Amino acid sequence: VDLRNNKLEVPTRRALQAMGYINHQVLKGMS
């Protein structure tokens, strides 16, 4: 599979980064 031709790669990576950021903010708010 050539990831350069996978149109889902970038949106998925952005979504994972966004979820990670949200989780980080939630943990920061809980502490």
1-31 pLDDT, tens digit per residue, is 566 666 767 888 899 999 999 999 999 999 8
3-state secondary structure of 6: coil
The distance in angstroms from the start CA to the end CA of the chain is 42
pLDDT at 2: 65
**Would you call 5 helix, strand, or coil by DSSP?**
helix
Residue 3: per-residue pLDDT: 60
| Per-residue tokens: 31 | 């502490």
Helix extents (H) in 1-31: 9-30
DSSP state of 2: -
pLDDT computed for residue 7 by the predictor: 77
Cβ–Cβ < 8 Å for 11, 3:
no
pLDDT (0 to 100) of residue 11: 83
